């Protein structure tokens, strides 16, 4: 089955801890994204990556870090600098449109719910 997997489904963090959320895709997509979803606020972009070893900050990157060492993987680290990390985190991927696919359509994983204790 092709798709996007995120783990863990639920994650609890203590104050001052860094935690890493996993995102893997086997869709052969070039671009990957991380979003944060809070009640009543829709999805907000944290980081995105169009190609391996390259990534850009989104609208709310402060307190987060990412890496893109493999095409299939785009892990997100929530650092202790993120003051309000409790949220639902969503990973997405999309085909690179510059290879002839005329779409920005993004496909989402099932999400990770992070709670700070």
Choice between 49 and 82, CB closer to other proteins:
49
Q: Which helix (H) or strand (E) holds 74?
A: none
Task: Give min distance, CB of 86 to other proteins, in A.
Answer: 15
What are the tokens at 27? 């869709």
Q: Which helix (H) or strand (E) holds 117?
A: none
Choice between 82 and 94, CB closer to other proteins:
94
Q: Which residues from 65-94 bind other proteins, rule CB under 8 A?
A: 90, 92, 94
Contacts of 32 (CB under 8 A, 6+ apart): 23, 25, 48, 49, 68, 74, 91, 92, 93
Is residue 100 a contact point for other proteins (CB under 8 A)? Answer: no
* Maximum separation of any 2 CA atoms in the chain, in Å: 46
Task: Give min distance, CB of 33 to other proteins, in A.
Answer: 7
Contact region with other proteins (CB under 8 A), list: 11-19, 60-68, 69-77, 107-115: 107-115
Contact region with other proteins (CB under 8 A), list: 14-22, 38-46, 62-70, 78-86: 38-46
Task: Give min distance, CB of 78 to other proteins, in A.
Answer: 18
CA angle in degrees (0–180, nearest 5) for 22-70-63:
45
């Amino acid at each position: 089955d092709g798709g996007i997997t995120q783990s863990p489904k639920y994650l609890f963090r203590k104050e001052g801890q860094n935690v890493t959320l996993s995102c893997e895709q086997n869709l052969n997509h070039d671009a990957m994204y991380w979003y944060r979803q809070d009640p009543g606020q829709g999805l907000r972009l944290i980081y995105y990556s169009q190609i391996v070893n390259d990534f850009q900050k989104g609208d709310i990157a402060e307190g987060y870090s990412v890496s893109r060492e493999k095409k299939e993987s785009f892990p997100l680290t929530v650092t202790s600098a993120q003051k309000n990390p409790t949220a639902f985190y969503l990973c997405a991927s999309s085909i690179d449109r510059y290879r002839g696919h005329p779409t920005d359509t993004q496909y989402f994983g099932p999400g990770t719910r992070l709670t700070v204790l």
